[in-house]
């Protein structure tokens, strides 16, 4: 066994132990999240698989571009392998997201912009595999599918990152991924700009007062079409500088929070929080999440290289059979 | 089997299931990886003994006349 092979085998064994550790940490190290209970643990599987999907499809596009440039069969194998593994991870992200949605939103699928865009992405790459299987001529198959793959890759960032954020209304917790990051929120004033909008919900700051060591905002909330109008009173701890009570939006699972106040000028920074927002503010969750990202990336590299190897071997075997069929 | 879903131990049941799935996936991948490596090694070993993939030609002399070389070429490599 060569040194390189020994190193690769050791890395694979380490990956096995690493991922097993992540599975254990997911259940035993991460604390239950307020409002989500044990469902919040799925972030350790859901988000890394979605990130690896991005890496996989980008790598697949890179191989396709290199194939079109150099016309090497190995590049075509690399593109197919990365796309296949990316498709697998994309499906896993969709399934784990649906499981999360069922717990938090009460339904596996509700055509949320995030769900719809990832389904479209899956269909685009399913079409890539369909295209490959529909063409018999090998050269033509490789050339056309490589060109298609480049177009598919262009849609990927839009579908994964842009489209869900363009939508006015999504239940997906967009701000959950980076520790400390928040949605922008909106500053409202009691004596100025009183009305603002978060997503498709209209907020009107009716008043702001201090009760002991907390500030209380009186906010009128109107959902689209005035289906629900309610007066909510989120509070803010002046001593700690953190949101306290976060009342729930009427008829929705968003929470309304005051993230900052300026009592002297009657101003409050209001923001919405979807279930799952702020999961990573817990350090144990954060580090398990980062370890999972690394582990899934390693797993992806192993899988796609293995698949590319198998494709190359299949090709070599096919050529070997052709040679055997030649007349003696 | 309902005791496995008891809230007190449901988390450990889920952990055991997830860990079993990962171990199963890992063993499967390890075996496929080993099989692929072995197959590649065997193909590499036998490659020199195989007929050359490049065009071959034979020259025959029949009745004192030299015939056209007959080439045996494998189909275009994919």
Give the per-residue pLDDT at A180: 39
CB proximity B12 to A under 8 Å? yes
DSSP result, A268-287: EEEEEE-TTTTGGGSHHHHH
Q: For residues A26 and A106, which has the higher predicted lDDT (pLDDT)?
A: A26
Locate the domains of chain A by residue range: 3-174+283-325, 186-273
- On whether the CB atoms of residues A121 and A151 are closer than 8 A, the answer is no
DSSP result, B59-71: --EETTEEPPPEE
CB-CB under 8 Å, B78 with A27: no
Give the per-residue pLDDT at A247: 86
For residue A327, list chain B residues with Cβ-Cβ distance below 8 A: 72
Long-range contacts of A223-227 (CB under 8 A, 24+ apart): A223/A249, A223/A250, A223/A251, A223/A252, A224/A169, A224/A200, A227/A251
CB-CB under 8 Å, B53 with A323: yes
Give the per-residue pLDDT at B2: 74
CB-CB under 8 Å, A315 with B78: yes
Name A189's Cβ contacts closer than 8 Å, sequence gap at least 6. Answer: A205, A265, A266, A267
Largest distance between two CA atoms of chain A:
98
Domain assignment present for B77: no
Give the per-residue pLDDT at B74: 53
Reference A104, options A29, A170, A178; nearest CA is: A170
Retrieve residue A247's tokens. Answer: 């009342």
Whole-number Å distance between alpha carbons of A250 and A264 = 30
Retrieve residue A315's tokens. Answer: 């090709």
CB-CB under 8 Å, B19 with A24: yes
Long-range contacts of A299-305 (CB under 8 A, 24+ apart): A299/A15, A299/A19, A299/A52, A300/A52, A300/A55, A300/A56, A300/A85, A300/A86, A300/A89, A302/A12, A302/A15, A302/B29, A302/B33, A303/A85, A303/A88, A303/B29, A304/A56, A304/A59, A304/A78, A304/A81, A304/A82, A304/A84, A304/A85, A305/A81
Torsion sign, CA atoms A308, A311, A312, A313: positive
Average pLDDT (A20-39) is 83
pTM to 2 decimals? 0.71
pLDDT in tens, A81-131: 999 999 999 999 999 999 888 877 677 887 878 888 999 999 999 999 999
Domain assignment present for B32: yes
Q: CA torsion, points A279, A283, A285, A287, in degrees to nearest 10?
A: 130
- On whether the CB atoms of residues A165 and A174 are closer than 8 A, the answer is yes
For residue A315, list chain B residues with Cβ-Cβ distance below 8 A: 78
- On whether the CB atoms of residues A309 and A36 are closer than 8 A, the answer is no
Band of the pLDDT at A167, cuts 50, 70, 90?
low
pLDDT in tens, A258-308: 888 988 888 898 887 766 666 677 788 889 999 999 999 999 999 999 999
Q: For residues A132 and A105, which has the higher predicted lDDT (pLDDT)?
A: A132
Band of the pLDDT at B75, cuts 50, 70, 90?
low
Give the per-residue pLDDT at A187: 84
Whole-number Å distance between alpha carbons of A49 and B52 = 45
The rounded Cα A61 to chain-centroid distance in angstroms is: 20
Retrieve residue A294's tokens. Answer: 């690394």
| A162: DSSP letter | I
Domain assignment present for B36: yes
Name B71's Cβ contacts closer than 8 Å, sequence gap at least 6. Answer: B55, B56, B57
Band of the pLDDT at B36, cuts 50, 70, 90?
very high
The total of structural domains in chain B comes to: 1
Name A25's Cβ contacts closer than 8 Å, sequence gap at least 6. Answer: A44, A284, A288, A291
Provide, rounded to the nearest whole percent, the portion of chain A with pLDDT above 70: 84
Give the per-residue pLDDT at A149: 96
The shortest C-alpha distance from B38 to chain A (Å) reads: 11
Mean pLDDT highest for which of A240-249, A298-307, B1-10?
A: A298-307
Q: Residue A139 in 3-state DSSP?
A: helix
pLDDT in tens, A71-81: 999 999 999 99
Band of the pLDDT at A178, cuts 50, 70, 90?
very low
Give the per-residue pLDDT at A311: 92
- On whether the CB atoms of residues A253 and A277 are closer than 8 A, the answer is no
Q: Residue A111 in 3-state DSSP?
A: coil
| A178: DSSP letter | S
Complex ipTM above 0.90?
Answer: no
Mean predicted lDDT score pLDDT of chain B: 76
Residue A57 pLDDT exceeds 50: yes
Q: Residue B57 in 3-state DSSP?
A: strand
Give the per-residue pLDDT at A21: 96
For residue B30, list chain A residues with Cβ-Cβ distance below 8 A: 12, 16
CB proximity B72 to A under 8 Å? yes
For residue B74, list chain A residues with Cβ-Cβ distance below 8 A: 319, 322-323, 326
Largest distance between two CA atoms of chain B:
95
Q: How far is the first Cα of chain A from the last one, in angstroms, to the nearest whole number?
A: 37
Give the per-residue pLDDT at A250: 66
Which of A4-13, A217-226, B64-73 shows the lowest per-residue confidence on average (mean pLDDT)?
B64-73
Reference A29, options A283, A295, A299; nearest CA is: A283
Domain assignment present for B78: no
Domain residues for B53?
2-72
């Amino acid at each position: 066994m060569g040194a390189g092979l020994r190193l690769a085998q050791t890395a694979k064994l380490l990956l096995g132990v690493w991922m097993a550790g992540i599975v254990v940490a997911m259940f035993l190290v991460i604390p239950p999240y307020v409002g989500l209970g044990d469902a919040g643990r799925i972030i350790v599987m859901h988000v890394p698989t979605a990130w690896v999907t991005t890496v996989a499809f980008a790598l697949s596009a890179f191989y396709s571009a290199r194939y079109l440039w150099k016309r090497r069969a190995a590049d075509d194998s690399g593109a197919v392998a990365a796309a296949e593994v990316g498709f697998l991870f994309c499906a896993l992200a969709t399934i784990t997201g649906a499981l999360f949605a069922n717990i938090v939103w009460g339904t596996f699928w509700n055509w949320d912009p995030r769900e719809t865009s990832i389904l479209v992405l899956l269909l685009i790459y399913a079409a890539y595999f369909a295209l490959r299987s529909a063409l018999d001529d090998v050269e033509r198959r490789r050339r056309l599918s490589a060109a298609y793959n480049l177009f598919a890759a262009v849609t990927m960032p839009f579908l994964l990152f842009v489209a869900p954020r363009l939508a006015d209304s999504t239940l997906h917790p967009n701000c959950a991924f980076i520790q400390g990051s928040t949605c922008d929120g909106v500053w409202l004033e009691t004596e100025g700009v009183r009305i603002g909008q978060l997503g498709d919900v209209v907020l009107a700051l009716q008043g702001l007062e201090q009760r002991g060591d907390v500030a209380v905002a009186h906010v009128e909330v109107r959902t689209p079409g005035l289906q629900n109008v309610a007066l909510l009173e989120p509070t803010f701890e002046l001593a700690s500088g953190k949101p306290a009570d976060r009342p729930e939006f009427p008829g929705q699972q968003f929470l309304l929070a005051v993230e900052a106040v300026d009592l002297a000028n009657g101003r409050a920074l209001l923001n919405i929080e979807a279930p799952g927002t702020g999961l990573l503010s817990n350090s144990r969750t954060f580090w398990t999440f980062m370890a999972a990202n690394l582990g899934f990336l390693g797993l992806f590299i192993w899988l796609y290289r293995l698949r590319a190897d198998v494709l190359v071997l299949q090709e070599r075997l096919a050529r070997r059979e052709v040679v055997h069929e030649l007349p003696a | 089997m309902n005791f496995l879903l008891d809230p007190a131990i449901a988390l450990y049941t889920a952990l055991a299931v997830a860990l079993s799935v990962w171990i199963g996936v890992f063993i499967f991948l390890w075996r496929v990886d080993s099989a692929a490596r072995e197959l590649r090694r065997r193909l590499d070993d036998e490659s020199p003994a195989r007929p050359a993939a490049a065009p071959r030609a034979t020259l025959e002399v029949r009745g004192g006349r030299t015939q056209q070389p007959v080439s045996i070429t494998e189909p275009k490599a994919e």
